[in-house]
């Protein structure tokens, strides 16, 4: 899925306090060079799993029993766009997003 947003309209909609979609994952920097940090909101559950896939769908990283803040070393990641998924115990995707690695 490719999503393009021009201007600030997408940001305004996501920042609306009446929006039912509340982000559980904060990640930075994006684009990333050597490491990327993922922080989970306080209402996360340690039993969640976290996966990263390259843009062709191959799983390149998995973390079980996530901490509130996780730093991932990108030495083994190639340049490109990656997809992250946060899943609950049943495998349901709670949140997904993308980030870019530039080297």
pLDDT tens for 37-90 read 999 987 888 899 999 999 999 999 999 988 899 999 999 999 999 999 999 999
For residue 14, being part of any structural domain is answered with no
Query: What pLDDT score was predicted for residue 21?
Result: 63
Burial of residue 20, with CB atoms counted within 10 A of its CB: 0-12 exposed, 13-18 middle, 19 or more buried: exposed
Q: What CATH number is associated with residue 91?
A: 2.60.40.10
Q: Can you give the chain as a three-state secondary structure string?
A: CCCCCCCCHHHHHHCCCCCCCCCCEEEECCCECCEEEEEECCCCCCCCEEEEEECCCCEEEEEECCCCEEEEECCCCCCEEEEEEEECCCCCEEEEEEEEECC
For residue 8, being part of any structural domain is answered with no
For residue 10, being part of any structural domain is answered with no
Query: What pLDDT score was predicted for residue 103?
Result: 86
């Amino acid at each position: 899925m490719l999503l393009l947003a021009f201007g600030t309209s997408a940001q305004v909609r996501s920042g609306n306090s009446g929006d039912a979609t509340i982000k559980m994952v904060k990640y930075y920097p994006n684009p990333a060079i050597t490491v990327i940090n993922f922080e989970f909101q306080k209402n996360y559950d340690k039993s969640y799993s976290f996966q990263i896939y390259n843009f062709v769908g191959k799983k390149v990283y998995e973390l079980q029993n996530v901490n509130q803040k996780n730093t991932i070393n990108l030495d083994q990641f190639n340049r490109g766009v990656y997809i992250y998924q946060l899943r609950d115990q049943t495998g349901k995707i709670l949140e997904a997003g993308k980030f870019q690695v530039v080297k």
